[in-house]
């Protein structure tokens, strides 16, 4: 098969990866560092776009590439004026501006009604709350808006000039109705948002056309190179590359900064139990639904590491995992979904400090060493995964007989072992680069090189090492 370029934007870094479904190569990696100004946190989207072009230029210098696809995390967005120019800065989903917003939104349209309309779990970071915060706090700026683009689709617009949002990413906004397969005009109207902000919703794999001439010239690409609106949500891409046979009795955990635990279904599951357990219905790469729960994942360890790097010494993630394994079982546990663990740690309020505070409140042993912190967090995540699997089985009325862990967290053998033990299920780990592989897979389907996601998954199973952990 010909080669494809996947632009995979993560909360810590962005990568440009080139290959086909069977083999990939990382061409370029750049740090994606949020910008803190006063009490606010922003994404440096202009630098992200510049880095994307730098990486693509290197890719085109080394390979013949047929198309480009881009994915990123969910919920974040940009507003543009009627000339297509950016209005203001793009806020980071961990910015505190939404802390008190959900209650105000629920006073206009009840929380349960929002869930019934969208099937999206409650999180203060959701687009609906971010947009309402912008409308209340920055009315002068918001009044200038003519369009809303989710973050990867903003990058697509700057690459191609095409302004539209792709399904898998639009579904994360809590402004989309998975039953009508359109924007939730009921919520949009109730919150006073302008209908004109919300344009076309594209199916995953839509060919957006060619690069803008000045972009093609800058990165050294030919006019024949296509830009594909792959499944632009990173988890949708990752799930497309699960090496499971069919869509049987398995669940997945897309493990990284966040842990996304769920199953694939053709239709949304919106019920009393899915609401009570806070499950969400997001768009899949095949046009179906990813029924899942967002769990704060390795972010907690990332923030602990950032603190230790600053005040102690720099550890690698592998070193921290090895230390945690040697330490043995920890005598504390935390609720990884506690809101206190959501925001970035500061010097005077670090992530380890927050863990210590949670342990003291619960009357538990206070961890002392990095090894003990990491072991306790990993045990807590594994326990939370196990509990979430049981909730998933109840809400979906479907048994789970195996877990597939994909993404960066699949490297963490200790987490995989602890998860298999806590859930009492076999765990299959890998591939690590599931997001990029899935991005490329959707592009290859769009360009006619692969006939289906099922066929792509066969290629993944045959091409990558998948580790197995027994309960």
Active-site choice (234, 335, 449, 454): 234
Q: How far is CA 39 from CA 145, 346, 349, in A?
A: 24, 12, 14
403 beta partners: 251, 427
Phi, psi of 334 (to 5 degrees): -130, 160
Q: How far apart are CA 357 and CA 366, in angstroms?
A: 8
Stated as kind and residue range, the H or E segment containing 50 is helix 45-62
- The angle formed by the CA atoms of residues 24, 266 and 243, to the nearest 5 degrees, is 30
**Phi, psi dihedral angles at 400 (to 5 degrees):** -115, 125
Cβ-defined contacts of 42-48 (< 8 Å, 24+): 42/89, 42/90, 42/91, 42/92, 42/95, 43/76, 43/89, 43/90, 43/91, 43/92, 43/151, 45/78, 45/86, 45/90, 45/151, 45/154, 48/9, 48/14, 48/155
Distance CA 429, CA 128 (A): 34
3-state secondary structure of 468: strand
Verify whether residue 234 is a known catalytic residue: yes
Q: Nearest-CA neighbor of 112 among 276, 293, 267?
A: 276
Q: How many Å apart are CA 431 and CA 404, to the nearest integer? A: 10
Residues 37 and 451: their CA atoms lie apart, in Å, by 48
Residue 84 has a CB neighbour count (10 Å cut-off) of 13
Nearest to 243 by CA among 106, 403, 63, 94: 403
Residue 363: phi, psi to the nearest 5? 70, 30
What b/e readout covers 10-38, taking b as 16+ CB neighbours within 10 angstroms? bbeebbbbbbbbeebeebbebebebeeee
CB 438 within 8 A of CB 395: no
Determine the length of the chain.
Answer: 471
> What are 468's strand-pairing partners?
428
- Spatial contact of 215 and 227, defined as CB atoms under 8 Å apart: no
Active site residues: 234
């Amino acid at each position: 098969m010909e080669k494809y370029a996947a632009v995979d934007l993560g909360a810590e870094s962005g990568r440009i990866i080139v290959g086909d479904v069977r083999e990939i190569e990382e061409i370029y990696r750049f740090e994606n560092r949020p910008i803190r100004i006063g009490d606010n946190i922003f994404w440096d989207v202009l630098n992200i776009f510049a880095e994307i072009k730098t990486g693509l230029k290197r890719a085109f210098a080394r390979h013949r590439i047929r198309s480009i696809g881009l994915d990123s995390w969910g919920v974040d967005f940009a507003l543009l004026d009627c000339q297509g120019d950016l209005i203001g800065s793009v806020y980071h989903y961990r910015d505190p501006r939404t802390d008190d917003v959900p209650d105000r939104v629920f006073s206009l349209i009840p929380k349960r009604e929002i869930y019934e309309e969208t099937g999206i779990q409650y999180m203060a970071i959701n687009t609906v709350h971010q947009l309402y915060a912008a409308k209340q706090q920055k009315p002068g700026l918001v009044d200038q808006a003519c369009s809303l683009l989710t973050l990867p689709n903003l990058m697509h617009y700057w690459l191609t000039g095409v302004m539209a949002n792709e399904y898998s990413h639009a579904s994360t906004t809590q402004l989309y109705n998975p039953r009508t397969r359109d924007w939730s005009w009921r919520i949009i109207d109730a919150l006073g948002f302008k209908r004109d902000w919300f344009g076309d919703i594209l199916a995953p794999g839509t060919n957006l056309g060619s690069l803008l001439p000045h972009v093609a010239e800058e990165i050294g690409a030919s006019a024949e190179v296509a830009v594909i609106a792959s499944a632009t949500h990173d988890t949708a891409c990752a799930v497309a590359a699960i090496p499971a046979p069919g869509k049987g009795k398995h669940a997945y955990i897309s493990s990284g900064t966040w842990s996304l635990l769920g199953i694939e279904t053709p239709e949304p599951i919106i019920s009393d139990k899915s609401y009570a357990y806070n499950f969400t219905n997001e768009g899949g790469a095949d046009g179906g639904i990813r029924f899942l729960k967002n769990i704060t994942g390795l972010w907690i360890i990332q923030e602990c590491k950032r603190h230790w790097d600053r005040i102690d010494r720099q550890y690698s993630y592998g070193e921290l995992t090895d230390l945690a394994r040697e330490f043995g079982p920890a005598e504390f546990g935390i609720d990884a979904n506690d809101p206190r663990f959501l925001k970035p740690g500061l010097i005077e309020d670090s992530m380890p400090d927050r863990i210590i505070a949670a342990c003291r409140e619960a009357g538990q042993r206070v961890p002392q060493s990095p090894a003990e912190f990491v072991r306790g967090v990993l045990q807590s995540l594994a326990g939370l995964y196990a509990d979430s699997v049981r909730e998933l089985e109840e809400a979906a009325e479907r048994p789970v007989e195996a877990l597939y862990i994909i993404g960066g967290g699949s490297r963490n053998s200790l987490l995989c072992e602890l998860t298999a033990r806590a859930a009492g299920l076999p765990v299959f780990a890998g591939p690590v680069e599931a997001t990029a592989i899935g991005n490329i897979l959707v592009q290859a389907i769009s360009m006619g090189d692969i006939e289906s996601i099922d066929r792509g998954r066969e290629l993944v199973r045959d091409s990558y090492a998948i580790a197995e952990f027994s309960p």
